[in-house]
Homo-oligomer: A and B are copies of this chain.
Amino acid sequence: MDRALSLLAAFDAGHRSLTLGELSRRSGIPPSSALRLANRLTAWGALERGDDGRFSVGLRLWEVASLAPRGQGLRQVAMPFMGDLAEVTRQHVLLAVREGDEAVLVERLSSHHAMPVLYRVGGRLPLHSTGVGLVLLAFADPAFQDEVLARPLVHEPEKVPVAPDALRRTLAEVRRQGMATVRRASPAPLVTVAAPIFGAEHRVVAALSVVVPRGGAEPRQLGPAVRTAARSISRMLGAH
């Protein structure tokens, strides 16, 4: 059964459809077994098979996955507020949660004429070099923070090493301000403002951010807007 899961894990952003052979090789399962498993997954709807014989992830799986509280569930309550932010900023609005030592992008609203796109919905972001990541890290369990800080880290697109002390100060600052502000030059000069979203028991369950081009209109107003939206979402989630 783990083998069935490893078949699913064989798919990634760059490989959304696979032949049986690829499926077999990428999952490390002999072709005959891979076929048997894939057929059963297809019968259930977890996989689909195109006219060309290629396998891809099935809609049925997408349906049950849409019941994930931290995925669609979170998105559902956040969406209207994200929509408001998107309409005002006309750039990118991001919603992410922490999964292990990375952030997973749960939703991204991007205007038609927004900056070049950085991350994909359903994809992962580094915790230490993105706005939402810094927020999630800053408000995470201290033990987990130490664990991350102990690792060698590099800023993501540029591959510049991260100084642990500097990161630690950044995290403290994020906690103090209740938001993170990040300026980068990665694809284009941009500034990100991110704020935490609280669930029950005052735990941070997600992070919300806007990404706008540097030099764009409002530098200072962004903070309050994002924090307000984040608080509204928190309230909907039952934060005390």
Q: Are A17 and B60 in contact (CB under 8 A)?
A: no
When distances are taken between beta carbons in the complex, the residues of chain B under 8 Å from A65 are 57, 61-62, 64-66, 122
A225 within 8 A of B: no
A5 within 8 A of B: yes
A46 within 8 A of B: yes
Interface residues of A (CB under 8 A from B): 1-2, 4-5, 8-9, 11-13, 16-17, 37, 40-41, 44-46, 48, 56-73, 76, 79-80, 83-84, 86-87, 97, 99, 104, 109-112, 120-122, 124
Cα–Cα, bound, A63→B71 (Å): 9
Contact A112/B83 with A64-B9, A121-B66 known, Cβ cut-off 8 Å: yes
When distances are taken between beta carbons in the complex, the residues of chain B under 8 Å from A64 are 8-9, 11, 57, 61, 65
- The smallest C-beta distance from A39 to any residue of chain B, in angstroms, reads 11
Q: Are B87 and A71 in contact (CB under 8 A)?
A: no
Cα–Cα, bound, A73→B4 (Å): 22
Cα–Cα, bound, A16→B71 (Å): 12
Q: Are A99 and B16 in contact (CB under 8 A)?
A: no
Q: Are B13 and A67 in contact (CB under 8 A)?
A: yes
